Amino acid sequence: MLMRVEGPVKPGLRMESADGRRLVLMQGGVPVLFARQRVTWYGLHYARTGRYVSPLAPLRAELARTVAEFAEPGSEEWTERWAAHGGAGLRAAGDGPLHEGEWHLAPDADRWFVDGNWPKLLAHDPDRGHLTWFGYGDPDEDARDLLPLRALSQPEAPRVKAYRRQYREGVLPPVFAWWISGLNSPVVLDGHDRLTAALAEGGRPRVLLLSRAMDAARIALWAERPVAEYEGRVAALDGPLGPNRVAHVSRQFANTLRAIIQAPAVTRAWPFPGGPAAWDAAVAAHVPGWAPDADR
C-alpha cells in the first residue's frame, strides 16, 4: 500500500543523529533506542531503554477473526486489509513515525528476512546488544533481521498464549515493522507479542514493512538497466515458443520492477540537539554503563 502523508514535518517517533555514527530513536522527548555504528561498517551496537510504546491500539481477537473471514489469511486481500488498518492507525498516531512524504506499508519486497535467522530472536534478544550486517555473523547469533524495540515477552505470558492460539487457528495478524536505514534493519513498531507467539509455535510471523517510498527519479534510475535487459531479451525471442517465453520473461520483469518501486528510501534523521557531547550525556542518563566498542 502506498500512502501519501501531508504531515507532520517532524514526527513523534523519529531517528536523530550526531557525529561519530551516533544514533538515537526518540519517541516524543524520550529516547527508546541508542545505537552506535561500528567504524568497520560490519554492524552496530544498540541499547534499548525500555520506554517504547506502540503507536497502534491493541488488536482484539474479534478483529483478527473478522479479517480472516473477509479473506484467506496470507492472501493479497487479507494483506491489503491489514495494511489499510495499520496505515489508518499510524496516520492517527501522535507518537508514530509518519512524516510528510510517500510511504509504503507492504510485505517485504526485498526478501530481507532469512528463514534461518528467525529462531535466533527468542534465544538471543538482549536489551544491550549488537546487530551484524551483511551476514558476517560476528558472532552468529548477532545476525538477526529484525530488532524489537522492547524486550520480548515470555512464550507462556498470557497475551502471548492468546496470540499463540490465534496462530494455531491461522488468523494471527501481521507484525508491523519499520525499516530504518541507519540501523540497516527493520524495528518492530507493533506486534512484539505476536512475533513471540509465531516463533514459539515454531512458525514465522507475517510482516508488513513500513518504509519511505523512493522518488520517481531514483526509481527511473534503478530501472534503466532492467528495462534495457528486458527489451534485449524480448527482441531475441522468436520461433514457435516465442510468445510463451516472452510471457515468462515479462512476469520476471514485472517482479523486478515491483521490487524496485517498493524498495525503501533512506530514513530521515534529525540532528540530535547538542551533538555528540549531549548524546553521550543522554546515554549515561538512560542506559548507564553502556559503552560500546564502536572502533572495531
| Residue 291 included in any domain | no
Instruction: Based on the fold, state whether residues 225 and 208 are members of the same structural domain.
Output: no
Q: How many domains does the chain have?
A: 2
Q: In the prediction, which pLDDT does 223 show?
A: 85
Q: In the prediction, which pLDDT does 214 show?
A: 83
Q: What angle do CA 259, 220, 41 make, to 5 degrees?
A: 60
Q: In the prediction, which pLDDT does 140 show?
A: 78
- Grid cell locating 204: 514465522
Contacts for 83 with CB less than 8 Å, ≥ 6 apart: 1, 105, 106, 208
- Segments of the chain with pLDDT less than 70: 109-110, 135-138, 239, 241-242, 296
Instruction: Based on the fold, state whether residues 106 and 8 are members of the same structural domain.
Output: yes
| Residue 236 included in any domain | yes
Q: In the prediction, which pLDDT does 186 show?
A: 96
Per-residue pLDDT tens for 143-161?
889 999 999 999 999 999 9
Instruction: Based on the fold, state whether residues 147 and 35 are members of the same structural domain.
Output: yes
Instruction: Based on the fold, state whether residues 61 and 158 are members of the same structural domain.
Output: yes
| Residue 131 included in any domain | yes
Instruction: Based on the fold, state whether residues 116 and 52 are members of the same structural domain.
Output: yes
Closest CA to 264 of 34, 107, 100: 107
β-strand partners of 17:
23, 271
Q: In the prediction, which pLDDT does 243 show?
A: 76
The one-letter amino acid at 250: S
Instruction: Based on the fold, state whether residues 228 and 160 are members of the same structural domain.
Output: no
Instruction: Based on the fold, state whether residues 104 and 121 are members of the same structural domain.
Output: yes
Q: In the prediction, which pLDDT does 157 show?
A: 97
Instruction: Based on the fold, state whether residues 158 and 231 are members of the same structural domain.
Output: no
Instruction: Based on the fold, state whether residues 248 and 210 are members of the same structural domain.
Output: no
Q: In the prediction, which pLDDT does 175 show?
A: 98
| Residue 173 included in any domain | yes
> What is the model's pTM?
0.89
Give the ranges where the chain is alpha helix by DSSP (H): 61-70, 76-92, 120-123, 158-169, 192-200, 216-236, 242-262, 275-286
Instruction: Based on the fold, state whether residues 44 and 110 are members of the same structural domain.
Output: yes
Question: Around Cβ 62, how many Cβ atoms within 10 Å?
Answer: 8
Instruction: Based on the fold, state whether residues 37 and 152 are members of the same structural domain.
Output: yes
Cα–Cα dist 43/139, whole Å: 11
Domain that holds residue 244: 217-259
